[in-house]
């Protein structure tokens, strides 16, 4: 697409330059008195016209390069945006798989492993929460509530580990993790649709 644009621009430039040259040469020669229409004077006029046309061609080429540069910058920005989206999709998928892993540990009563993975996930979720693209695609209130529940669940796990008399509600924690997973999968789906 860009090569075709450059080719058509060059053809237009040469057509315009040729027309300007012929018209300017005709006007200059016809304005000269017959006594001054010598070979040297005509060469001077041709040189002057070609110099002016050269400057115009250089200017048009600069404009053409500027347009191509702007088009390339736009493509680069779009490419960077797509790459960032792909990285965010990968990042979200990792978090969803961590949630699934935590749910598996919870199912088999491996509370210590749940706590370790939840601490890892907590760091990743706080990074994700500060991502502008993620924030624009997620329901902030819903994610904030789920994120808050996640912190409460993590705190409850800590309390349980310190004092085994404390009871943890596995169904509630699992439901909270499932809601967080659903929110993340919703954002991942929106990113894939873009």
Q: Which residues contact 39 (CB under 8 A, 6 or more apart)?
A: none
Q: What is the pLDDT of residues 46-66, one digit of tens each?
A: 888 888 888 887 887 888 889
3-state secondary structure 61-102: HHHHHHHHHHHHHHHHHHHHHHHHHHHHHHHHHHHHHHHHHH
| Mean pLDDT comparison of 4-13, 54-63, 170-179, highest-scoring range | 170-179
pLDDT digits (tens, 9 = 90+) for 16-51: 878 888 888 888 888 888 888 888 888 888 888 888
For residue 6, the model assigns a pLDDT of: 54
DSSP letter (8 states) at residue 1: -
Is pTM beyond 0.85? Reply is no
Q: How confident is the model at residue 5 (pLDDT cuts 50, 70, 90)?
A: low
* Structure token digits, residue 137: 């695609």
Q: What is the distance between the alpha carbons of residues 62 and 155, in angstroms, rounded to a whole number?
A: 63
Q: How confident is the model at residue 102 (pLDDT cuts 50, 70, 90)?
A: very high
Q: What is the structure's pLDDT at 26? A: 84
Q: Is pLDDT above 70 for 164?
A: no
Alpha carbon distances (Å) from 61 to 10, 11, 54, 67, 153: 8, 12, 10, 10, 64
pLDDT in tens, 117-138: 999 999 888 888 888 888 888 8
């Amino acid at each position: 697409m860009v090569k075709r644009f450059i080719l058509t621009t060059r053809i237009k430039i040469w057509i315009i330059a040729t027309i300007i040259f012929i018209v300017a040469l005709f006007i200059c020669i016809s304005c000269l008195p017959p006594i001054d229409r010598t070979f040297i004077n005509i060469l001077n006029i041709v040189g002057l016209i070609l110099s002016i046309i050269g400057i115009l061609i250089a200017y048009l080429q600069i404009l053409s390069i500027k347009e191509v540069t702007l088009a390339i910058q736009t493509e680069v920005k779009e490419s960077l945006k797509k790459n960032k989206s792909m990285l965010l999709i990968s990042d979200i998928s990792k978090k969803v798989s961590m949630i699934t892993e935590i749910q598996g540990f919870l199912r088999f009563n491996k509370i210590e492993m749940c706590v370790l993975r939840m601490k890892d996930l907590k760091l990743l979720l706080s990074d994700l929460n500060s991502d502008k693209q993620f924030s624009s695609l997620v329901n902030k209130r819903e994610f904030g509530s789920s994120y808050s529940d996640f912190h409460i669940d993590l705190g409850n796990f800590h309390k349980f580990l310190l004092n085994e008399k404390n009871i943890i509600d596995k169904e509630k924690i699992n439901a909270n993790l499932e809601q967080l997973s659903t929110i993340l999968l919703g954002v991942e789906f929106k990113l894939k649709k873009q």
